[in-house]
């Protein structure tokens, strides 16, 4: 659906479909691979090599959650992975899926160690940068200081993201963080945004404040749950049409015309 819409799809390492299967399904689509920095660097290296071989054009690294939070809602709901689903991209004999509830439902466990590397530093990112010629995009940047460091370390792009507010409660909304970050990088890398994008007007606002593009998660999942691939296509078409109408009604003839002059911070509108 993303390929047909002419847009990018980011595949997570934890997907229920393998890197190779997704690549075969949409060989001409723009595909990025989303990874975490793991303690097992050979696993990270394998993901990157598989992505390169499969025609992926970028690597996205989640940097705002080197360790998962204490998620009480998941614990209360006793969330487990249904037995018919697996994580094929792990592909490593020392990582297994182990039954926890007696019904065949499963969850991640590793042989004695947690998967994620909670001690990730900029040196870790430098290692990844040297590993591949693919563009590296950091997901989870919320401050101008980190954005400038990304420039200094030769990163190709950043995604202004707060992980949907699910990792650290009370973090800044991405649309509020975006303008200062765009100003800080001075066009030296591409800035994208995700978080709370539900309408084409949300896309318009992000573009106006300097984002090169936006990423959407939940709307796509909702479309998938509603009607599979066709549902995803409908969601993407709806967002594009809403953006088109927002541009027309704002008097913007092209994306280049969408500038910050078209948006006013909510806390200022009351004073107009």
Strand 30-35 and strand 190-194: the pairing is unpaired
Residue 238 lies in a domain: no
Residue 260 lies in a domain: no
How many angstroms separate the Cα of 229 from the Cα of each of 5, 44, 81, 202, 220? 12, 29, 22, 23, 10
Domain interval for residue 19: 3-216
Task: Place 96 in a pLDDT band, splitting at 50, 70 and 90.
Answer: low
- 163: annotated active-site residue: yes
pLDDT, residue 90, reads 85
Residue 247 lies in a domain: no
pLDDT tens track for 167-214: 777 889 999 999 999 999 999 999 999 999 999 999 999 999 999 999
How many structural domains does the chain have?
Answer: 1
C-alpha neighbours within 13 Å on the C-beta side of residue 19: 23
pLDDT, residue 107, reads 56
pLDDT tens track for 220-231: 999 999 999 999
Q: Which comes out higher in pLDDT, residue 55 or 268? A: 55
pLDDT, residue 231, reads 98
pLDDT, residue 132, reads 95
pLDDT, residue 70, reads 75
Average pLDDT, stretch 27-46? 95
Residue 251 lies in a domain: no
Q: Which comes out higher in pLDDT, residue 87 or 246? A: 246
pLDDT at position 269 over 70? no
Enumerate residues 6+ apart whose C-beta is below 8 A from 53: none
Tell me the pTM.
0.90
pLDDT, residue 108, reads 53
pLDDT at position 79 over 90? no
Residue 194 lies in a domain: yes
pLDDT, residue 43, reads 93
Task: Place 110 in a pLDDT band, splitting at 50, 70 and 90.
Answer: very low
pLDDT tens track for 119-150: 899 999 999 999 999 999 999 999 999 999 99
pLDDT, residue 112, reads 33
Residue 156 lies in a domain: yes
pLDDT at position 265 over 90? no
Looking at every residue in the chain, the average pLDDT score rounds to 89
Average pLDDT, stretch 248-254? 97
Residue 272 lies in a domain: no
Strand 157-160 and strand 95-99: the pairing is unpaired
Among candidate residues 31, 129, 139, 163, the one labeled active-site is: 163
Question: CATH no. for residue 140?
Answer: 3.20.20.70
Average pLDDT, stretch 112-122? 79
pLDDT at position 113 over 50? no
Residue 198 lies in a domain: yes
């Amino acid at each position: 659906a993303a390929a047909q819409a002419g847009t990018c799809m980011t595949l997570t390492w934890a997907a229920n479909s393998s890197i190779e299967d997704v690549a075969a399904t949409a060989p001409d689509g723009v595909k990025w691979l989303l990874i975490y920095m793991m303690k097992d660097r050979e696993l990270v290296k394998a993901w990157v090599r598989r992505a390169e071989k499969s025609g992926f054009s970028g690597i996205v690294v989640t940097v705002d959650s080197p360790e998962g939070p204490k998620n009480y809602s998941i614990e209360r709901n006793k969330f487990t992975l249904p037995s018919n689903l697996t994580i094929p991209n792990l592909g490593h004999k020392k990582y297994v899926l182990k039954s926890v509830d007696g019904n065949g439902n499963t969850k991640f466990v590793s042989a004695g160690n947690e998967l994620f590397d909670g001690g990730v530093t900029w040196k870790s990112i430098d290692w990844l940068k040297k590993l591949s010629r693919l563009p590296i995009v950091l997901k989870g940047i919320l401050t101008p200081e980190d954005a400038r460091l990304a420039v200094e370390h030769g990163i190709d792009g950043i995604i202004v993201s707060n992980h949907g507010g699910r990792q650290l409660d009370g973090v800044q909304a991405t649309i509020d963080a975006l303008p200062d970050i765009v100003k800080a990088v001075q066009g030296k890398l591409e800035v994208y945004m995700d978080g709370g994008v539900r309408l084409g007007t949300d896309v318009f606002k992000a573009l106006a404040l300097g984002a090169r593009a936006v990423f959407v998660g939940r709307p796509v999942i909702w479309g998938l749950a509603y009607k599979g691939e066709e549902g995803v296509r409908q969601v993407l078409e709806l967002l594009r049409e809403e953006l088109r109408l927002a541009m027309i009604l704002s008097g913007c003839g092209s994306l280049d015309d969408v500038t910050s002059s078209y948006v006013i911070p909510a806390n200022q509108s009351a004073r107009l």
